[in-house]
Homo-oligomer: A and B are copies of this chain.
Amino acid sequence: MDSQPQLTHVDAAGSARMVDVSAKEISVRSATAAGHVRTTPEVLALLSQGGLPKGDALGVARLAGIMAAKRTPDLVPLCHPIAIHGVAVEVTPADDRVEISATVRTADRTGVEMEALTCVAVAGLALIDMIKAVDPGASIENVRVLRKEGGKTGLWSRER
């Protein structure tokens, strides 16, 4: 029954494997992921001064996300190494949270949703590291793919 849903990274015996993609086409692919860090008003005030982001604080989170996207295959065991061709990250203080979103683009043989998710998750970790002395209870929330494009499956977009 190959129409039955399957975990693609384990074989019939349950053994992990890296799925062979050498026969897949090179095409332009992109993925957007998002999430947020929930924190206190006190932290949100520290992150902004007169409405402007303060110094390196948000920049550190952005950069951590970009660098982590490049290291996705080192972190996610069965992920293929991919030549990432572009990453944009936004880290935006909002009401009771800091919103994080990332778009990753490539021209390669597999999708980049894991790279986009890794970018968001690690930007969140870096942000928590910056603020944990003031808010030890901050949390990373709702890290998920919003949209992916390209490849055989084409456009997938999250229904809200």
Write out the residue numbers on chain B whose beta carbons fall within 8 Å of the beta carbon of A22.
28, 85-86, 105-107
Cβ–Cβ contact A57 & B10, under 8 A: yes
A14–B114 CA distance with the chains assembled, in angstroms: 26
A126 to chain B, nearest CB (A): 5
What is the interface size of chain A, counting residues whose CB is below 8 A from a CB of the partner?
Answer: 90
A158 to chain B, nearest CB (A): 6
Query: Taking A21-B86, A60-B77, A77-B67 as contacts, is the C-beta distance between A6 and B46 under 8 angstroms?
Result: yes
Query: Taking A21-B86, A54-B14, A55-B15 as contacts, is the C-beta distance between A7 and B141 under 8 angstroms?
Result: no
A85 to chain B, nearest CB (A): 4
Q: Which A residues between 51 and 86 are near B, CB-CB below 8 angstroms?
A: 54-57, 59-60, 62-64, 66-71, 73-86
A67–B132 CA distance with the chains assembled, in angstroms: 20
A17–B79 CA distance with the chains assembled, in angstroms: 22
User: What 0/1 readout, one digit per residue, does chain A (119-160) give for beta carbons within 8 Å of chain B?
Assistant: 001101110111111101111111111001000000010100
Cβ–Cβ contact A17 & B66, under 8 A: yes
